[in-house]
A and B are shown apart, each in its own frame.
Chain A
Amino acid sequence: MKRQGVLIIGGGIAGIQAALDVAEQGVNVYLVEREPSIGGHMAMLDKTFPTLDCSACILTPKMVEVARHPNIGLLTYSELREVKRVEKGFEVKILKKPRFVDETKCTGCGICAQHCPLEVPNEFDMGLGVRKAIYVPFPQAVPLKYTIDDEHCIQCGLCQRVCKAEAVNLDQRPEVISLTVGAIIVATGFKIFDAKKRSEYGYGRYLNVITSLELERLINASGPTGGRVLRLSDGRIPRRVAFIQCVGSRDQRAWGHHYTGNPYCSRVCCMYAIKNGVLLKEHIHDIDVTIFYMDIRTIGKGSEEFYQRAREEFNVHFVRGRVAKVIEIPETKNLLVRTEDTETGKAIEREFDMLVLSVGLMPSSGIFELSKILDIPIDEHGFPQGAHVETDRFTTGGKGIFVVGAAQGPKDIPDSVIDASAAAMKAAISLARVKE
């Protein structure tokens, strides 16, 4: 008797790893991703900490392996709509959104996009780069199927005329796919804290105040600037860059009756800021990098050593102090940062060319709705809750549903991958029990 399949929700690094590990055990996997490509946040990164390995070099081969694996059904641009617990598993309904491109004909040649007359901000580049109205989010997307963006397309029909494989199908409609699976793995990742909620830092008002994810795109060789870090206001190379840590993390300031930050530590921000500080030093020879922090938390193997290297070898400056205010100088668009150095007790004011906000990690958008569909509990911060924090953090909402990676709570890449493999094993055990 063939074992039942596993549904994995979310195609970031955790979902990808879980899919590969389940599929390698001879079990069918359905990997559902709401975006046009798998890859998640890791696909946006340039390097990973603390080894400075190239993110794409690790991720892209895994993405292609998922697309090629005979036991993996890849459902991108699709969303889970309904789940019903049945005797031996779950009956699920998945909505496949129309791409307006026939995937049995599209080879990803990109001729359609070359002819599309529209350019709009590319979400994958955090709006810093552009894409066409018919697009793939990034060149090494998987699957490399083009998608027409319904919101911007003006129906000029040029893509349809130039596609020699006749793949463009403007009449495509949403499709509902029904599946029966034995287990479900939730790997929906995270979203970043909305930096506009910390209005004292000027994000959204001052062009040269950017988030850490925006910096990742600027520093990335395949990003909108080809890896050149430039100021958004004038395209100049910044010579003085500061990072502000804990933006939206370890922060319970209230606005009226509403908390605008999160009380928990996001676990990755110290390390990604240190990594980006080092990368900036490597990219721009004479740059001055300062990190304003509350505490430096170097979680994970090799992280403390990397922090020490950043201080001593790369000369990244660390100032202990919570930044109180950022002011833009109108003439230069430079930024004045006011804080107190809590190690010396002195108030300081310094000018920078660019400011990077190390934004925290939050439950992914749509997780609340998903928790209702799956009938799984949510913790006080909005993350799906595991059965037991020490002995079984993967099982959630009863038998057969598991939660992994940053969907569980803030987590770095190595921990997310370990989680994914562990949950793959849990899912396989759960299927074996169903079989008995």
Chain B
Amino acid sequence: MTPRMEGAEGNQNLVGRLEQIWWALNELFEDLIRRDIDARIVRSYARELRNCRTMINFVRSHACPTCEERIDDKLQDLQRDLEKIKRDLISAALSVDEDYAKGWMNKIDRVERGKLDHPITQFSARFVPGLHPRRGWTRLTLPRPIAKEEVRDFSERLGVAIEFEDSLHIIVRGKEASVKKAVQIIWVSTSEVPPQGGLST
């Protein structure tokens, strides 16, 4: 059981710890999925993990002093739910072998005792003044730095405006279909990775 501190700070500390446990359980879930262990049963835990994650995100993004009591209750529920997921996933892990399950138990035990395996989630607000909210634009993070001259041609050919934030980030504005086409072409031309099929275009 994780020790408690009082108040909003205590809740944030506790949710930070629970988030670490969540990550460890998530890794175990992913590994069991990859190994195709008890597939039907294990897959039913995707929903449980998602619901726990929603509550973690909720507490993280709402440091709301007037709702401390309510959040306190929810954190206790969350602790109980994670405990149940742990029990069930570990018993699925036992069907791989005992050492495998023991390895995961040790890992989860370590994070329960406070070892930070994953960076704490930060919900970084992103708001760009002047970036018109009601007009089409896409911001692209490029796989490699690019020179302005390289995209000038696309800009003219596809009728879009391309704005450089820095050599790795561009904003493409214009009609939706043209923006998507331009972004796709620029991505391919700056990437070694060929595009994949599947989605309708």
Footprint of B on A, CB under 8 Å?
52-54, 56-57, 60-61, 63-64, 67-68, 100, 103-110, 117-121, 126-130, 139-145, 148, 150-158, 160, 164-166, 170-171, 204, 207, 214, 221-226, 230-235
Contacts and interface: CB of A to CB of B under 8 A. Distances in A.
Interface residues of B, number: 62
Contact of B58 (A56, A68, A204, A231): A56
B183 A154 contact: yes
Contacts of B109: none
A145 B47 CA distance: 9
B133 A126 contact: yes
Interface of B: 23, 26-27, 29-31, 33-34, 43-44, 46-47, 49-51, 53-55, 57-58, 60-64, 66-67, 70-71, 74, 121, 123, 125-130, 132-134, 137-143, 176, 180, 183-184, 187, 191, 193, 195-201
Contacts of B55: 60, 64, 140
Nearest to B181: A154
A129 B129 CA distance: 10
B35 to A, nearest CB: 12
A235 B47 contact: no
A67 B180 CA distance: 34
Given A54-B62, A60-B58, A127 B51 contact: no
B67 A165 contact: no
A147 B23 CA distance: 21
Given A117-B142, A204-B134, A170 B196 contact: yes
A52 to B, nearest CB: 8
A139 B58 contact: yes
A161 to B, nearest CB: 9
Given A126-B133, A127-B133, A230-B127, A117 B198 contact: no
Of B30, B127, B128, which is in contact with the most chain A CB atoms at under 10 Å from its CB? B127
B133 A121 contact: yes
Given A107-B29, A118-B140, A165-B30, A155 B197 contact: yes
Contact of A234 (B60, B130, B196): B130
A104 B201 CA distance: 26
A54 B123 contact: no
Contacts of B70: 57, 61
B64 A164 contact: no
Given A104-B46, A120-B138, A155 B51 contact: no
Shortest beta-carbon contacts, A-B, top 7? A170-B198, A235-B129, A127-B133, A139-B57, A226-B125, A57-B67, A222-B61
Nearest to B190: A117
A224 B123 CA distance: 9
A264 B73 CA distance: 42
